[in-house]
Amino acid sequence: MYNQNMLLGAKYMKKYRGINIVQKILGFMMVAVFVFFIWGQITFPTENIVTDGKCEVLQADWLRVMPDGTSVPVEVPGQCEAAAGEVIVIETILPQDQEDTTFCIRSMQQELKIYVGEDVREEYSTLDTQPFGKTSTMTYIFFDIWEEDAGKPLKIELSTISAYSGIISEILVGEESEIWKTFIHRYAPSTVVAVFMFLISLVVFCYGAISKLIYKKEVEIWHLGNGIMLASTWLLSESRLRQFLLPNSTVAMLMGFLVIMLISYPFLAYLNKIQKYRYQVVYMILYVAMVINAVCVTVLQVFKVKDFFETMGSSHLVLVSSCLVMFVTILVDVWKGHVREYKEVAFGFAGLVVSGVWEVSLAYVTDTNQNGIALCIGLVFLLFTAGLKTGTDVIKGEKERQLAITASEAKANFLANMSHEIRTPINTVIGMNEMILRENENETIQEYARSIKSASQMLLGIVNDILDISKIDAGKLQIVETEYSLGTMLKDVVLGVEVRAQQKNLKLKTEFDEKMPSVLKGDDIRIRQILNNLLSNAIKYTDKGTVTFAAEGIHTETGFMLKMSVSDTGMGIREEDMESLFDSFRRLELKKNRYVEGTGLGLSITKRLLDQMNGEIQVQSEFGKGSCFTVLIPQEIINEKAVGTVSKSEVESKVSKQEEVFFCAPNARVLVVDDNKMNLKVMQALLKRSQVQLDLASSGTECLEMTKKKKYDLILMDHMMPEPDGVQTLHLMRNDKKNANHTTNVVVLTANAVGDVETEYRKKGFSDYLGKPVETDKLEKILTKYLSARVKKR
């Protein structure tokens, strides 16, 4: 097959070599187009039509007017000595050739009043509009100067209680649009990077949120996305262009301080997760410090005790401490060798820590134009390294997924084979024992046979429990919802456990609400299994007293819940054992209960089945006095008619009548196909009293030969036979139109109890499914269903 594929591939390459060449040419041309665009924009001369505007720093001789009326020279931009809250007054004379223009000055958390001559040209303060705080927001203030202002004095009053008292920023002169162009040229790079990072973090945030809400899986990079979102928000709030981008500069400024308080948390959480919580205690200390700092600083700001800028040092201390802790934990992991788990991210965090410290140091540099650039570089570097790790993890995860799929398939095949191999001999034991019970009237032998039947059923129950837990673990167990009679199900469950209760001289008490709906939709097979597990447990662990089985319906806003409880007067459960109650292969009080039958899987299976049906189980128990297990299962109401009184006598009478009537079809022709001679003997014995005309085939090949010669009314065929197996034999028979039985109903006989086998076999073409060990009542139901037209009444 490999050589054939290689040959076909070579022929394809030869035939379509021309297409491959053209595709390579087109790919090269696409790359060339982008190269031309970039090269042309860099090297070709500018062709855009631009206005002849200008923007420049105002050059003037400024004087500071002192409180006593004297004047001293002052440099603008610059800084002069001033106490917090002191009003700084500076003035100059506008030139005689003054033209219409616009001036711009930056308020450094200062309240400003600008005079031209005696007129107040502009006034700025946000103290009356901002929600809290003692200083105004940093912003650019534009004011117009006209030609008629030539020769007039220009006076500016500045005051603030912040650390910016005495600072005078540069004053720009020119058309307003040109001034904005200057700002964009200066500050756009960090702003554009911040917007880009915000969009990227939004994508990561949505990805993480979807994974958590829908798939119930928390992805590591989600924390990093949150951190980058906070960082980009801080960059935007601190941008010199914020008044151009955002409608409220005060909120933007406050946001910047608030973000600084919390910005290190997502990065700590991300690193903590990829470090597998090795330094959880240290990180928790930082988390607590972060919360305390944020609460205290915010309270001081709101009540106007201290402004954010006055308490900025504590937030920076927490931030720097976080950076140092991250740096140290990475170094410790390097020393211990753990860093191999996240070496890409370690490089990224090292770069981020350096850039974070750099950014904090820049915050103390007056009026720097590089605000945010350092952090941008660090975040981009971290994002790149985290992307490398994520890519590596995805590739590794895909490999592990493929291995898991292979292991799951191997496990499923093993379970199918194990199910077949174990159930086949059990089928023989139960089948032959059934013949002894039917045909032998010696009471002693009957007693022996009943003991064999009980032990066989116990063994079958253990096998079923092990297979069920394996099916659940392998994801092969499916919930199949059908309409069912609630009364019938409850009666059947009670009858199934009543004998065991009587054997232990226990009273089985039922309390069923008569107002419950009569017909529901759900997986009644699994509900029966759950109830049987709970009732069996109650009977096993109760030596005397009563086992109570109660059921009622609860109508909720979202639908209908079937509430069923099983309580007993048994030994009860210790409080310390509650946590391990639903563990697999777990039995409480092992020394005391070592003679109790079972695998210890019943409650574990019950819990997992309820989880699959969106139900729940509640346990109340007092050691030495008894336990009560309550299950709640959502069901759909099909018929609102009340179920009425659930009486066991009706079912007992019905069962007795059914046992008195045997299926009999002497005119029916049936073929049984199985490669195991003992199984053929069992089927022959079970079908004996039906008086059907029975033929036996020991292989698929023999079956095909027999079906070509004789027409049968029903074929019972084993699945796992030497080639051809049951499925292959069925398909060969169906596809052979000359075969006399190409339309005959074929029921599969199988010991494979893994997954939803009935549905799978129907998809493969079988008319029905009959599991091994073969139960007499189910066999006769199959015969009645497909041979009803040929039944001869007795």
pLDDT per residue over 158-179, tens digit each? 999 888 899 999 999 999 989 9
The confidence score (pLDDT) of residue 62 equals 94
Is the CB of residue 188 less than 8 Å from the CB of residue 180? no
Token pair 């402004």 in the structure block, residue: 307
* Angle at alpha carbon of residue 396, lines to 393 and 397, rounded to 5°: 80
Average of pLDDT values for 105-112? 93
CATH superfamily of 55-174: Galactose-binding domain-like (2.60.120.260)
The 3-class SS string of 433-492 reads: HHHHHHHCCCHHHHHHHHHHHHHHHHHHHHHHHHHHHHHHHHCCCCCCCEEEEHHHHHHH
Listed residue (143, 140, 167, 139) closest to 155, CA to CA: 143
Query: Which runs of consecutive H residues, i.e. helices, occur in 275-372?
Result: 280-302, 312-336, 343-362
CATH superfamily of 478-647: Histidine kinase-like ATPase, C-terminal domain (3.30.565.10)
H or E element in which residue 158 lies: strand 153-159
- Give, to the nearest 10 degrees, the angle between helix 176-213 and helix 221-238: 160
The pLDDT tens digits for 371-419 are: 667 777 788 788 788 878 877 877 887 888 888 778 767 776 776 676 6
pLDDT exceeds 90 at position 107:
yes
Annotated domain spans of the chain: 2-43, 55-174, 189-262, 408-469, 478-647, 662-790
Token pair 């972060």 in the structure block, residue: 290
Residue type, 636: E
Whole-model pTM over 0.85: no
Q: Tell me which of 350 and 535 has the higher pLDDT.
A: 535
pLDDT exceeds 70 at position 588:
no
C-alpha 384/C-alpha 388 separation (Å) is: 6
Please give the structure tokens belonging to residue 286.
């930082």
The pLDDT tens digits for 11-67 are: 445 555 667 787 778 878 888 887 777 777 667 776 655 555 688 999 999 999 998
Please give the structure tokens belonging to residue 720.
């796992």
C-alpha 605/C-alpha 473 separation (Å) is: 10
* Angle at alpha carbon of residue 211, lines to 208 and 213, rounded to 5°: 105
The confidence score (pLDDT) of residue 593 equals 44
Residues 6+ apart with CB under 8 A from 152: 93, 94, 116, 117
Please give the structure tokens belonging to residue 308.
């954010």
φ/ψ of 428, rounded to 5, equals -65, -45
Is the CB of residue 664 less than 8 Å from the CB of residue 791? yes
The confidence score (pLDDT) of residue 591 equals 42
C-alpha 73/C-alpha 236 separation (Å) is: 37
Average of pLDDT values for 181-190? 84
Q: Tell me which of 322 and 425 has the higher pLDDT.
A: 322
C-alpha 331/C-alpha 672 separation (Å) is: 73
Highest mean pLDDT (candidates 139-153, 246-260, 466-480): 139-153
C-alpha 670/C-alpha 779 separation (Å) is: 13
pLDDT category at 493 given cuts 50, 70, 90 is confident
pLDDT exceeds 80 at position 576:
no
- Angstrom CA distances, 341 to 94, 326, 333, 337, 346, stand at 67, 16, 9, 9, 9
The pLDDT tens digits for 682-700 are: 888 888 888 889 999 999 9
- Angstrom CA distances, 354 to 325, 345, 381, stand at 13, 14, 11
Q: Tell me which of 525 and 585 has the higher pLDDT.
A: 525
Residues 6+ apart with CB under 8 A from 707: 671, 715, 733, 739, 740, 741, 744
Highest mean pLDDT (candidates 128-137, 281-290, 392-401, 601-610): 281-290
Please give the structure tokens belonging to residue 212.
């958590």
Token pair 């997760």 in the structure block, residue: 273
pLDDT exceeds 90 at position 88:
yes
Q: Are domains 55-174 and 662-790 of this chain identical in fold?
A: no
CATH code of the region 662-790: 3.40.50.2300
Average of pLDDT values for 633-651? 76
Is the CB of residue 168 less than 8 Å from the CB of residue 158? yes
Q: Is the peptide bond before 634 cis (omega within 30 degrees of 0)?
A: no
pLDDT category at 595 given cuts 50, 70, 90 is very low
C-alpha 373/C-alpha 191 separation (Å) is: 9
Average of pLDDT values for 728-743? 91
Could you give the strand order of the β-sheet that contains 714-718, starting from the edge strand earlier in sequence? 693-697, 669-673, 714-718, 746-750, 768-771
Residue 320, beta-bridge partner list:
none
pLDDT exceeds 90 at position 499:
no
- End-to-end Cα separation, the chain, in angstroms: 61
To the nearest whole percent, how much of the chain has pLDDT over 90? Answer: 26
Q: Tell me which of 484 and 775 has the higher pLDDT.
A: 484
Average of pLDDT values for 229-254? 86
C-alpha 470/C-alpha 407 separation (Å) is: 13
Please give the structure tokens belonging to residue 478.
């499916």
Q: Tell me which of 21 and 751 has the higher pLDDT.
A: 21
The confidence score (pLDDT) of residue 547 equals 92
718 half-sphere exposure, CB direction, 13 A CA radius? 31
The confidence score (pLDDT) of residue 708 equals 92
Please give the structure tokens belonging to residue 501.
């209760």
pLDDT exceeds 80 at position 625:
yes
Listed residue (567, 710, 686) closest to 627, CA to CA: 567
C-alpha 213/C-alpha 374 separation (Å) is: 35
Q: Tell me which of 293 and 473 has the higher pLDDT.
A: 293
Q: Which long-range contacts (CB under 8 A, 24 or more apart) does 428-433 make?
A: 428/678, 428/679, 428/681, 428/682, 429/456, 429/773, 430/456, 430/457, 430/460, 430/773, 430/774, 431/681, 431/682, 431/683, 431/685, 431/686, 431/773, 431/774, 432/681, 432/682, 432/685
Q: What is the mean pLDDT of the chain?
A: 82
Residue type, 310: E
The confidence score (pLDDT) of residue 416 equals 63
The pLDDT tens digits for 507-553 are: 999 999 888 998 999 888 888 888 888 888 888 888 889 999 999 99
The pLDDT tens digits for 656-679 are: 444 445 678 888 999 999 988 888
pLDDT category at 117 given cuts 50, 70, 90 is very high
C-alpha 385/C-alpha 197 separation (Å) is: 15
The confidence score (pLDDT) of residue 7 equals 43
DSSP states of 569-601: SS----GGGGGGTT-TT--SSTTTTTTS-S-S-
pLDDT exceeds 50 at position 477:
yes
Question: Which conformational region is residue 598 in: left (phi greater than 0), alpha (psi within -120 to 50 degrees), or beta?
Answer: left
The confidence score (pLDDT) of residue 564 equals 92
The pLDDT tens digits for 305-324 are: 888 888 888 999 998 899 88
Average of pLDDT values for 218-234? 85
DSSP states of 618-660: EEEEETTTEEEEEEEEEEEEEEEEE-----HHHHHHHHHHHHH
The confidence score (pLDDT) of residue 556 equals 84
- Give, to the nearest 10 degrees, the angle between helix 176-213 and helix 373-439: 20
Residues 6+ apart with CB under 8 A from 412: 474, 476, 754, 755
